[in-house]
Amino acid sequence: MRRRIIDWLDHRTGVETAVRSFLYEEIPSSSGWHQVFGSIAVFLFLLQAFTGILLAFNYAPTPGDAHNSVRYIMTELTGGRLIRGLHHWGASMMVVVVVLHMTQVFLWGAYRKPREATWMVGILLLLITLAYGLTGYLLPWDNRAYWGTVVTTQIAAKAPLAGPYISRLIGGNGSVGVVTFTRFYALHVMLLPPLTLLLIGLHIFLVRKHGVTPSFQESGPTKKFFPEQVFKDTVAIFAAFALLVVLAAIAQAPLGQLADPTDTRYVPRPEWYFLFLFQTLKLFEGPLEMVGAVVLPGLALLGLLLVPFIDRGQLRRVRRRTTAIGIVLLGALGWGGLTAAAILTTPANIEIAEDLSGPQSWQQLSPEELAGIGYYRKENCSSCHLVGKTGRAVGPDLANTAIRKDAAWMILHFKRPQAMIPGSAMPPIQLSDSQLNSLAAFLLKLTPRNAEALQSAPAFAVEGALVYQQYRCGACHQVNGVGMKLGPKLNALSRRRTKEWVVQHFLEPQKMSPGTVMPPYRFSPRDMDRITQYLMFLPPEEP
């Protein structure tokens, strides 16, 4: 009965015949461990697709919300940190494996006639692999992703003739915003995966059509793909997956602060596999910048594509291919040297990495205290005072003052510094009493342990808290236990409402919440964006 069912399926679908043909393909007797990289690359692509789908179930593909959703995946979703780790580190491993596969093919001379098309499809797959890294880099929407993409779009805009069109296509036009994010997301999720599947299918078809390249001119017997080579491929895939799981478990995928276009302190750097190109650009400044950005990479790509037509010699053992070995060693030294130089010359970023163990320090502040950070920045207090490691030590370190004053004393000191501390060079602060009270509340919250974390509060949150305070939202709502209870508490609002709903509620509260006493608010577009982003980042209340 089992045989009859299999025969019926094979007669109608050809599945059994196809599987047998695939497994029992004739391969050279010299085939072995050096030919496992192609199978590993296909496995890693499938793993990237699988983990990408799992992440997409909880990912919000809009700027701002994207960062919040990635943070949610890594802190609250069961297995989320591991899944994102597999996806993040899997991308780097896939680049390594594809490059190793191309290197092995180059050393063996497996690009020669009649396998020229197989080699060129492989080059396209390498470029697509790099494109995944390029487009996926922006999706966490942190400072690292934002400023790295700014550099990328600026380089793309320098391409001769096509530069302006490429810039418009990726939504650059001198900045990175919603359009750029949407187009990178569409490329990463909707265009590149089906294109990759198509090219992988074509690549495998061409490999089967022309056969596996032997290590040298063989006249002896061949062997079957199954079971020996299948076993080696399986062991190699298992080892790669085990290494990736360990890496994802012990090395947390990075997530920086929410992208802040005003944060000019951040030093942008691309992913490690693009650092060599980044360093190359430093060697060509001014009018020669085009050479490093476009001409050299273009010539390198053209050279790779033309390799089968340049090298048309006879097949020889690998150890006798001294020219190919020399080119590979020279390329490895050049890539390694440029990458090392880029790493060594990278200054330390001021940005503090996200604390994914729970809500960030600034998220636990009341709106008044958070607004105080805004007034601190507005009055440029850091030009005279230190807070942690930020600022100048002209006046006392505000996080380490030995004697703490109360808010009333601070407000008087802000208004009349000479009267409170004779001989002080501090000028009076021209703010209202409520604004001075916010500034005092922030300073009273400072400690040596939280100073840098509070100073790193993103601009959108600080400005959102300023809007919240300006319109006296605390007269009806509570945030982090501060405020009145006439309206609902706003902590963990993102779990109950979308950003679009909150915006509409500000504009038409009666429509969204019938019977509410809340009046409509006609914020400016910037204020609306800031206050809604701030509210969507409010953490759950502590028990």
Residue 306, in any domain of the structure: no
CATH code, domain with 520: 1.10.760.10
Region of poorest pLDDT, from 85-94, 101-110, 183-192, 267-276: 267-276
Q: What are phi and psi of 142, to 5 degrees?
A: -105, 180
Q: Do both 405 and 267 map to the same domain?
A: no
Give yes or no for a contact between 171 and 179, defined as CB atoms under 8 angstroms apart. yes
Q: Do both 513 and 367 map to the same domain?
A: yes
Q: Name the strand (E) or helix (H) holding 74.
A: helix 65-75
Intra-chain end-to-end CA distance of the chain, in Å: 63
Where is mean pLDDT largest: 95-104, 314-323, 390-399?
A: 95-104
Region of poorest pLDDT, from 180-194, 339-353, 526-540: 339-353
Q: Name the strand (E) or helix (H) holding 45.
A: helix 37-56
| 126-145 residue pLDDT tens | 999 999 999 999 999 988 88
Give yes or no for a contact between 41 and 132, defined as CB atoms under 8 angstroms apart. no
Residue 427, in any domain of the structure: yes
Domain count, the chain: 2
The number of beta carbons lying within 10 Å of the beta carbon of residue 99 is 18
Domain C-terminal end among 243, 272, 301: 272
C-beta pairs of 391-397 under 8 Å, 24+ apart in sequence? 395/426
- Secondary structure of residue 220 in the 3-state scheme: coil
Residue 515, in any domain of the structure: yes
| 481-514 residue pLDDT tens | 899 988 889 988 877 888 888 999 999 999 988 8
Residue 250's pLDDT is: 94
Q: What is the mean pLDDT of residues 450-477?
A: 86
Q: Could you check whether the bond before residue 114 is cis, i.e. omega within 30 degrees of 0?
A: yes
Q: What is the mean pLDDT of residues 16-42?
A: 83
pLDDT of 352 above 70? no
Q: Is the dihedral of CA 17, 20, 22, 27 positive or negative?
A: negative
Task: Copy the structure tokens of residue 247.
Answer: 């890496």
Of 445, 461, 480, nearest in space to 374 by CA: 461
Residue 337, in any domain of the structure: no
Q: Do both 32 and 163 map to the same domain?
A: yes
Band the pLDDT of 475: cuts 50, 70, 90: very high
Residue 289, in any domain of the structure: no
pLDDT of 172 above 70? no
Residue 278's pLDDT is: 85
Q: Do both 229 and 367 map to the same domain?
A: no
Residue 94, in any domain of the structure: yes
Residue 36's pLDDT is: 93
Domain of residue 202: give its range.
27-272
Q: Do both 47 and 174 map to the same domain?
A: yes
Domain C-terminal end among 272, 306, 341: 272
Band the pLDDT of 28: cuts 50, 70, 90: confident
pLDDT of 461 above 70? yes
Mean pLDDT of the chain: 86
Rounded Cα distance, 276 and 336, in Å: 8
Task: Copy the structure tokens of residue 18.
Answer: 């196809």
Q: Do both 366 and 263 map to the same domain?
A: no
Residue 345, in any domain of the structure: no
pTM reported for the whole predicted model: 0.72
CA distances from 196 to 113, 124, 339, 360, 436 (A): 24, 9, 27, 39, 58
pLDDT of 59 above 60? yes
CATH code, domain with 108: 1.20.810.10
Q: Do both 225 and 372 map to the same domain?
A: no
CA distances from 372 to 400, 451, 457 (A): 18, 13, 11
Q: Do both 378 and 246 map to the same domain?
A: no
| 11-25 residue pLDDT tens | 888 888 877 877 778
Domain C-terminal end among 221, 246, 272: 272
Q: Do both 75 and 202 map to the same domain?
A: yes
Task: Copy the structure tokens of residue 473.
Answer: 């939202």
Q: Do both 46 and 163 map to the same domain?
A: yes
Residue 14, in any domain of the structure: no
Rounded Cα distance, 47 and 50, in Å: 5
| 239-295 residue pLDDT tens | 999 999 999 999 999 888 778 776 666 777 888 888 888 888 888 877 787 888 788
More confident residue, 371 or 495: 371
Residue 263's pLDDT is: 67
> Roughly what angle, to the nearest 10 degrees, separates helices 65-75 and 80-108?
100
Within 472-524, where are the H helices? Answer: 499-507, 509-512
Task: Copy the structure tokens of residue 28.
Answer: 């050279």
Rounded Cα distance, 273 and 95, in Å: 8
Rounded Cα distance, 279 and 269, in Å: 10
pLDDT of 101 above 90? yes
Percentage, residues of the chain above pLDDT 90: 39
Q: Do both 147 and 264 map to the same domain?
A: yes
Q: Do both 123 and 248 map to the same domain?
A: yes
